[in-house]
A and B are shown apart, each in its own frame.
Chain A
């Protein structure tokens, strides 16, 4: 039954994809040549103006361009033109650094806050104010104070991924079942041991959920941050191609950003499954 459901779902997915590509193809077909113009004038104009080619590329254009990129993902033509593989690597490295720093800060801090009701109450207003700030709003401040654009980008990743992790850790630690803590206390388990053997495993699923939300946000933000800061990364690639009004390349970048985001999410999802326990 389940396997037939999976097959049917797969078929529907493929059908939807084909329908989408078909509509896309039909919608972006070029119309007949527009106005008549002198050949010397036409030579100076783009295809959009001369042949009525849609400004939006069709799926075939995108496919051909994508193949071109996939054939040589790691070329390096100087500081402003690198292959997509290199750009993605830069973005992932930035996200990784900012995210790991956030993990190192958020989880121990969340643990402390979660174990102390006083701190939890006292810090709550600050966290509530800082949490909803758009990470990009930090950008000018970061650039101004840190005075280094690549560190600023990492800082923005750090600041945006810290809140979901912190809040989830606090929540996970604070809502460990009282019985388990009482049992530990009865058995005279020390505070440190109690934290690592009782609270941590119990709170792990909630903490990992927070980490999963964070990685999603971090990946959302890096693209925007790199568009602002420039230099390298997939966000810079989008900006650079936008500069050239090359929608084909922008679509390819969108596709790749989606795929990498999904992979990052899947990795965290796998970790979450590892630490989940049946109650």
Chain B
């Protein structure tokens, strides 16, 4: 169930209450929705709907009375009657203007890869401006630098690998500083690329002794590659060599034969193919469909000192992510983020990544519309999974309070509230179960999950 599914889809599975969480039953939700008279189209409409239903609830505090009223006169008459004596338009404007940002000029750091698409495109396509912010998106040289610059407050918020805010909050590889993730940037969108000379070595069991590059130790890339290798019976610590290499250098290293392959973010994968040095062995989607990759992160300090700026930023990012999740917008986005000021890559490469019609490096053209996708909801179960892998590979030791850390860093509750205010439909729960290479992960039992792995670092 994606956040951006149509709430009016009759086939949608509705559980307890209603889909948006504002009403006690699905029927009531439908009635409130009917007040909007037509399907939600624009942001204003969404806000109008939220305001109108709030007013309805205020006018008829008793549920039965409201339903009776709506039933007897019909939704459109109710709306007309309501607007007669209540200035719905003004109320909507007041509602949409949620607190002036304490700080309007913000700096947001990013790494030039397609994972950062929502953060980057929000600048040229005007999403930051729409939410009353003046944001400079600043390109940064590497993950360690982006971490340090965000900790130093040179950046107000930044693009980080999804496990990084957890690692920073836990004090792994840096001083412990509480960080939070209000939105996931992208899901899927990574890949395992091998040098062309390995084109007959498609079985990972034959990969003993190969050298692989990953972008950073605290990355989904590291955990996914280790997972993939371990499922094939290889111990990633002893049977292969894993090196932390900045993404742009991966292609050059692959060409120079210093590494045999990498699990890297796109556009790097596609760039290696474009330059004829490697081929796509596997999309990360085939390891775990819907895995998170990068996140939008800010320090707790920024959130408490400038809550309105933070909320506006999150709204802009969620808005941009929503826009990026629609396939028809992807071509335009590719053109907007390709120039030297942003990702600085050939438009063809970005288009192949974003539209999902790509050359595989072996002479074929493949299509997978979900090669990369965008969904902002920060599932806390994602954080729990990352913690199990951190523990599995010895990055953290001892007892881990999975739930507490996940809830502290991944702000599912706040994002849900914000998305509801924006008229979007966030999921009701913050935990979901998913399968990674066929192995089901239950976020309620992380220790059992961890114990089920044969290959792990001896602690």
Contact = CB atoms under 8 A, between A and B. Distances in A.
Interface of A: 34-35, 37-38, 40-41, 43-46, 48-49, 55, 77-81, 143-144, 147-149, 227-231, 239-245
Interface of B: 112, 136-141, 145, 148-149, 151-154, 248-249, 251-252, 255, 271, 273-276, 339-342, 344-346, 348, 352, 357-359, 363-365
A79 B141 contact: no
Contact of A45 (B148, B149, B342, B359): B359
B339 A77 contact: yes
A241 B252 CA distance: 13
B365 A44 contact: yes
Nearest to A43: B348
A235 to B, nearest CB: 10
23 contacts: A34-B276, A38-B365, A41-B364, A44-B348, A44-B358, A44-B365, A46-B276, A46-B346, A46-B348, A77-B340, A78-B136, A79-B137, A79-B139, A80-B139, A80-B341, A81-B344, A149-B148, A149-B154, A227-B141, A242-B249, A244-B344, A244-B345, A245-B251
A230 B341 contact: no
Contact of B275 (A35, A44, A46, A243): A46
Given A79-B341, A244-B344, A148 B365 contact: no
A46 B276 CA distance: 7
B138 A79 contact: yes
B275 A49 contact: yes
Nearest to B151: A147
B390 to A, nearest CB: 23
What are the nearest 6 A-B pairs in CB distance? A49-B276, A81-B341, A44-B359, A147-B152, A81-B340, A243-B248
B341 A49 contact: no
Nearest to B111: A243
A240 B340 contact: yes
Main secondary structure of the interface of A (DSSP, over half): loop
A241 B274 CA distance: 17
A80 B141 contact: no
B275 A79 contact: no
Contacts of A241: 344
B341 A41 contact: no
Contacts of A34: 276
Output the residue of B137, B151, B341 with the most chain A CB within 10 A. Answer: B341
Contacts of B271: 245
Contact of A245 (B153, B252, B352): B252
Output the residue of B112, B145, B255, B276 with the most chain A CB within 10 A. Answer: B276
B364 A55 contact: no
Contact of A41 (B136, B138, B139, B359): B359
Given A228-B145, A231-B138, A41 B363 contact: yes
Given A49-B276, A81-B341, 19 more contacts: A35-B363, A44-B357, A45-B276, A46-B276, A46-B346, A46-B348, A77-B340, A79-B136, A79-B137, A80-B340, A81-B340, A147-B152, A147-B153, A148-B152, A148-B154, A149-B145, A230-B138, A245-B248, A245-B251
Nearest to B346: A46
A38 B360 CA distance: 13
Contacts of B149: 149
Contact of B138 (A49, A55, A80): A80
A243 B137 CA distance: 17
B363 A243 contact: no
B198 to A, nearest CB: 17
Given A49-B274, A81-B341, A242-B248, A55 B145 contact: no
B152 A143 contact: yes
A55 B141 CA distance: 23
A78 B275 contact: no
Nearest to A245: B251
A17 to B, nearest CB: 28
Contacts of A240: 139, 340, 344
Contact of B255 (A41, A55, A81, A230): A55
Output the residue of A55, A149, A243 with the most chain B CB within 10 A. Answer: A243
A147 B141 CA distance: 17
A243 B341 CA distance: 12
A44 B344 CA distance: 17
A78 B120 CA distance: 12
B359 to A, nearest CB: 4
Nearest to B274: A46
B365 A48 contact: no
Contact of B141 (A41, A43, A229): A229
Contacts of A79: 136-139, 341
A78 B341 contact: yes
Nearest to B359: A44
A149 B271 CA distance: 30
Contacts of B364: 41
Output the residue of B145, B153, B364 with the most chain A CB within 10 A. Answer: B145
Contacts of B151: 147
Nearest to A241: B344
Contacts of A35: 363
A228 B246 CA distance: 11
Given A228-B141, A230-B140, A41 B365 contact: yes
